[in-house]
Structures are given as C-alpha cells and as structure tokens.
Amino acid sequence: MTTRTGADRLWTRDFVLAAVVNFFISAVFYMLMTTMALYAVDRFGVGDTGAGLAAGMFIIGAVGSRLFAGKLVDVLGHRRVLLVALVVFLLAALGYLPAGSFPALLGVRFVHGLTFGVGSTASHAIGQSLIPPSRRGEGTGFFGVSAVLATAVGPFTAVLLIDGPGYGALFTAASVAAAAAMAIALVLRVPEALPDPNRREALWTFRREDLLDPAVLPIATFMGVTAAAYSGILTFLNPYALSLGLAAAASTFFLVYAVVVLVGRPLMGRVQDAHGDNVVVYPALASFGAAFALLTVGSSRAIIGAGVLVGLGWGTVMSSCQAVAVKAVPPSRVGVAVSTYFFMVDVGTGLGPVLLGWLVGATGYRTMYAVSAGLVALAAVLYHLVHGRVARRVRPAHA
C-alpha cells in the first residue's frame, strides 16, 4: 500500500487557484482564436489571407514571447511575472473594440499573444512548483484539465455571444475572464526560489540555454512534430465534416474529446508516476495515430470515435511529456523548461496548418489525414530516440 506524506499533498489551495488562473487565460485564447478570422472579415472586410493573419498574429506574438518568458519567470519570480503579464493581458483584451483599423487589430493581437505567452508560461511554472515531485505526472494531468475545460467553454461561449449580443459582448466576456485571472493571481501564494543577486544582474545577458533549454529541447521537438499533426484536426476537422454534411459530428468530436481528456489525464498521470513514461506515451501515440486512420473513413461514427482516440492520444501525450520536460531540469529552471516545451508546441501548431493546408489543396482531406497518421508514426520513432530508449520503468514505493 502506497503512503502519502504531507510533502506529497497535491490538492492545496494554491494549486487549485493556479489551475483556475490557467483556465481563464486559456479561455480567453480559445474564445478569440476561434472567432477572430470571422471578426476581421465582418468588421474590416479583409480576404482569406487577412483573416488568417488576424487569427495567426496572436500565435506569432506567443511564439516570440516564449523565447524570453522562461528566463523572466525564473529570474524575476513566477508570481511577479504572472501579475505583470496579466495586467497587460487585460489591457489588450480591452483594446479590441477601440481598434478601428485592421493594422490596429493586428497590433492588439500581437501584444495579446505576447502577454499570453508570458502569462501561460508563468502559470504553468507556478503549477509545476506546487506539484510534489513524486506526483509529477498526476499533478501535471490535473493541472492540464484547466486548459481542456477552456477548449470546450471558450468556443461555446464565443459562438453563443456572437449569435446573440454580438462581438461587443464577446470582447467584454474576454476582458472579464482576463480580469478574473488577474484577481485570483493576486491571492496566490507561490513558493518562489529566487536566484541570488548576481544572477539577477545577468537578466539581460541571454545565453542560448536561457532561450531554449538543451535538456528539454529533444522532448519538446518531438512535441512540435506531434502538435503539427494535431493542428490538422484543429484547423481542418470542421471544413472536412462540413464537406461531408456531418457538421454535428464535428461538434460532438470536441465534446467527446474534452470528456475523455478530463477523465483520462489524471488517471494516466498516476500510471506514469507509478510505472514510468513509456507505459503511457507509447499507447497514447498508437491511439493518436489510429484516430487519423479513422478520420479517413469519413462517417459520423468514425469522426466521433476519432474524438475518443484523440482524447486518449493527444490529451495524454501533451501532459505526460510536459512532466518529462520539467523532470529534466532543476527547480530553478522550471520556467525555461516550460517555455521551451510550449515554444515547440506553438511552432508545430503554427506551421502544421500551412503544410497540411497545401496537402489538402493538392490531394484532399482524407489523404491529408492519412499522411498525418504517418506523421504520428514518425513522431513515435522520434520519441523513442530522444527519450523512450533511455526512460526507465518506475517501481512504486510500498509501505
């Protein structure tokens, strides 16, 4: 029978508050990411390229900020950086309605993305600092549930508001969510491990390892490849389903995905803590690849079934490998580890639609998803090379 000591306690007041902060930050992202292209068309009359730029400018800002966010968090302190980022995050949310031109909208999106990258890095670093090392996989899984909830609540709220009161209500809701994140962050108690004054003086002297941690980069690169495959679902599942007359199945896909991740992530985290990384990651990759194969079938049942497999696959890999990344560095470099990890995820998510979109135009959706299944197989080989072959099975401790 496994025993828990006080040091192994996961469900603390501040862990829950940090997860709620992360939920609100993520909810703002999903509310606006799923509606910004349409808003740019309706408000400014831009074409497809401009609409894509309006949506993508946020990701460009986030990717850029990941390069320095980790060092800021580690050197200046998790909570301090989070609060400053959330102040600007709120101001950016308030800037959408006053933005009276398309260039102004792009500027707001870029600043919003910058602060999202810094704020989400800080919130994840705080969450990791509050997780007992012996429960790293489980805790990361539970913390990740906050972002999963946002993937369901954010788009649903956005559609509800756009179809009802309109974009003004949408931007107001985004601002309220940003304000809620900031208010909760004010009462967070974070165990800061600030470096000595000599290291603080080196804040503006960036070394390569301060931007992307070498110990984390291998597993993060694997996640970038996997995220590129997942971007084919985020970007193209809805138009694919619409082309088949299966719009309802696409909506059900994301609902099923969210439910499976909510149930599966914490469970898989416990298995990872007890038995090691490979026991979780290899089956998850197999499930993820099978999901793409199922999507090529093109039926309602196949799409919904793929939602289950993606939840078991991508949902598990995302949190499990974040735990791997954090375990690869000392506590003083958790911020850089988190920023390195999500930098590569963002790069994969940003580049994937470009490459897969070209493939859709040349061959069609089904071929694109078949190629995505092959991309997951390639990612599995990469995982084995960078981590799987050296990962050791964990023997659980018994009382």
Are 136 and 231 in a shared domain? no
Flag whether 266 is in a domain.
yes
Which residues form the domain of 373?
A: 212-393
pLDDT at 201: 58
23 pLDDT tier (thresholds 50, 70, 90): very high
Reported as a single tens digit per residue, the pLDDT across 221-260 is: 999 999 999 888 877 887 788 889 987 887 788 888 888 8
Structurally, how many domains does the chain consist of?
A: 2
pLDDT at 378: 96
pLDDT at 42: 86
Picking from 145, 160, 190, the residue at the C-terminal end of a domain is: 190
190 vs 2, higher pLDDT? 190
Are 221 and 327 in a shared domain? yes
Encode the chain in three state secondary structure. Answer: CCCCCHHHCCCCHHHHHHHHHHHHHHHHHHHHHCCHHHHHHHHHCCCHHHHHHHHHHHHHHHHHHHHHHHHHHHHHCHHHHHHHHHHHHHHHHCCCCCCCCHHHHHHHHHHHHHHHHHHHHHHHHHHHHCCCHHHHHHHHHHHHHHHHHHHHHHHHHHHHHHHCCCHHHHHHHHHHHHHHHHHHHHCCCCCCCCCCHHHHHHHHCCCHHHHCCCCCHHHHHHHHHHHHHHHHHHHHHHHHHHHCCCHHHHHHHHHHHHHHHHHHHHHHHHHHHHHCCHHHHHHHHHHHHHHHHHHCCCCHHHHHHHHHHHHHHHHHHHHHHHHHHHHCCCHHHHHHHHHHHHHHHHHHHHHHHHHHHHHHHHHCHHHHHHHHHHHHHHHHHHHHHHHHCCCCCCCCCCC
Flag whether 205 is in a domain.
no
Are 221 and 291 in a shared domain? yes
Take residue 253 and report the two structure tokens written for it: 């896909």
Are 232 and 356 in a shared domain? yes
pTM: 0.76
Flag whether 263 is in a domain.
yes
Q: By mean pLDDT, which of 18-22, 175-179, 228-232 is the weakest?
A: 228-232
Are 264 and 230 in a shared domain? yes
397 pLDDT tier (thresholds 50, 70, 90): very low
CATH number at residue 363: 1.20.1250.20
Are 260 and 118 in a shared domain? no
pLDDT at 50: 80
Are 20 and 150 in a shared domain? yes
User: Would the pLDDT of 1 be above 70?
Assistant: no
Highest mean pLDDT among 27-41, 329-343, 364-378: 364-378
Picking from 134, 160, 190, the residue at the C-terminal end of a domain is: 190
Mean pLDDT score of the chain = 85
User: Would the pLDDT of 113 be above 60?
Assistant: yes
pLDDT at 396: 42
Are 177 and 242 in a shared domain? no
Flag whether 1 is in a domain.
no
Flag whether 201 is in a domain.
no
58 pLDDT tier (thresholds 50, 70, 90): confident
Reference 283, options 156, 380, 350; nearest CA is 380
User: Would the pLDDT of 123 be above 70?
Assistant: yes
Highest mean pLDDT among 227-236, 331-340, 390-399: 227-236
Are 80 and 223 in a shared domain? no
Reported as a single tens digit per residue, the pLDDT across 284-303 is: 999 999 999 999 999 999 99
Picking from 157, 190, 223, the residue at the C-terminal end of a domain is: 190
Are 105 and 234 in a shared domain? no
Reported as a single tens digit per residue, the pLDDT across 80-105 is: 999 999 999 999 999 999 999 999 99
User: Would the pLDDT of 385 be above 70?
Assistant: yes
Tallying the residues shown for the chain, one arrives at 399
Flag whether 399 is in a domain.
no
Are 147 and 14 in a shared domain? yes
What does the pLDDT average to over 51-67? 83
pLDDT at 191: 72
Flag whether 234 is in a domain.
yes
pLDDT at 290: 97
Take residue 228 and report the two structure tokens written for it: 């590129």
User: Would the pLDDT of 2 be above 80?
Assistant: no
Q: By mean pLDDT, which of 106-120, 150-164, 353-367 is the weakest?
A: 150-164
Flag whether 20 is in a domain.
yes
Are 183 and 216 in a shared domain? no
